[in-house]
């Protein structure tokens, strides 16, 4: 007897972490979100930069797959694929945004930092003309523990008219997460909680 199998390919949601500057915590955030999602759904992580730090994780990542960027859109075995990006010239990011379902823009809380994300947000809005269902959000990242600064930053960010999600604090525990398998593998409970909250909010956005 021949059996008929029906294959249904669900497309993975593609979540890109972007900011045209380096050092804002993109890769660390991409990694921790990927590990966090990986606890519940089939998750892959990729980097548009073949020289980037994510690619080095191929051997040590557990619970998530590390993919070469060229192959990520061919994948149907994942629910979510996180895409890390290097610092970039703004126009080179357009095709990457076009392939994304959600763009996460991390920013520090300082005034120059908040101004620096305008170019990325402008590009998102431009791409949204072409791809209406592209979503975007801002994550305050590496936030120093001074609540009033964060409040001011949130107010200033309102001009961009994008959701501002739960924030990630500046914590030593994040600096090791590349080698230790993400924040959930460590014992910083406050950090785990904030990553979990952010994960929940991203799931609601998707
Ligand atoms: N939430 C955080 N708290 C403290 N240090 C952080 C945090 N996120 C990232 N870092 C550190 O900041 C530096 C830059 O982070 P990285 O993720 O490489 O940024 P990017 O990918 O934007 O260049 C790294 O040394 C990293 O360990
Ligand atoms: Mg990086």
Whole-number average pLDDT of the chain: 91
Q: What is the rounded (10 degree) CA torsion for 150, 155, 156, 158?
A: 120
pLDDT value for 11 = 80
- Asked if residue 156 lies in contact with residue 140, where contact means CB atoms within 8 angstroms, the answer is no
**For residue 201, is pLDDT > 80?**
yes
Domain 13-205 class in CATH:
alpha beta
Tell me which ligand sits closest to the C-alpha of residue 198.
Answer: 1
Ligand 1 centroid to Cα of residue 132, in Å, is: 31
Residue-wise pLDDT for 44-84, tens only, equals 999 998 888 888 898 889 999 999 888 777 767 899 999 99
pLDDT digits (tens, 9 = 90+) for 86-136: 998 888 999 999 999 999 999 999 999 999 999 999 999 999 999 999 999
pLDDT at 56: 85
Contacts 24+ apart (CB under 8 A), 2-11: 9/76, 10/76, 10/79, 11/76
CA-CA distance, 73 to 96, in Å (whole number)?
11
Q: Where are the alpha helices (DSSP H) in the chain?
A: 26-38, 94-98, 111-116, 118-130, 147-157, 172-175, 177-180, 189-205
Residue closest by Cα to atom 11 of ligand 1 = 175
Query: What per-residue confidence (pLDDT) applies to 172?
Result: 96
Domain regions of the chain by residue span: 13-205
Per-residue model confidence (pLDDT) at position 5: 47
Beta strands in 37-147 (DSSP E): 43-47, 65-68, 80-84, 102-107, 135-140
Rounded to the nearest angstrom, the gap between the alpha carbon of residue 88 and the centroid of all alpha carbons in its chain is 16
Query: Predicted confidence band at 10 (pLDDT cuts at 50, 70, 90)?
Result: low
What residues are in contact with ligand 1 under a 6 Å CB criterion? 22-28, 142, 168, 170-171, 174-175
Least confident window among 4-8, 12-16, 127-131: 4-8
* Res 2 pLDDT > 50: no
Mutation probe of ligand 1 site: the residue of 19, 21, 25, 83 with most atoms within 8 A of C-beta? 25
């Amino acid at each position: 007897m021949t059996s008929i199998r029906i294959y249904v390919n669900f497309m993975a949601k593609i979540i890109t972490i972007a900011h045209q500057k380096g050092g804002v915590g993109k890769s660390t955030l991409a990694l921790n979100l990927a590990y966090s999602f990986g606890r519940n759904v089939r998750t892959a992580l990729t980097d548009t930069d073949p020289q980037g730090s994510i690619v080095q994780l191929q051997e040590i990542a557990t619970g998530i797959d590390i993919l070469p960027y060229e192959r990520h859109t061919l994948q149907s075995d994942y629910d979510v694929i996180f895409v890390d990006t290097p610092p970039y010239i703004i126009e080179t990011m357009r095709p990457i945004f076009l392939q994304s379902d959600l763009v996460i823009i991390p920013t520090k809380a300082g005034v120059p930092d908040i101004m620096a994300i305008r170019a990325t947000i402008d590009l998102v809005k431009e791409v949204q003309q072409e791809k209406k269902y592209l979503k975007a959000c801002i994550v305050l990242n590496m936030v120093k523990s001074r609540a009033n600064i964060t409040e001011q930053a949130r107010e200033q960010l309102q001009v961009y008219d994008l959701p501002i999600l739960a924030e990630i604090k500046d914590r030593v525990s994040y600096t090791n997460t590349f080698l230790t398998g993400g924040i959930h593998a460590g014992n910083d409970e406050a950090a785990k909680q904030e990553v979990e909250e952010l994960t929940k909010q991203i799931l609601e956005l998707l």
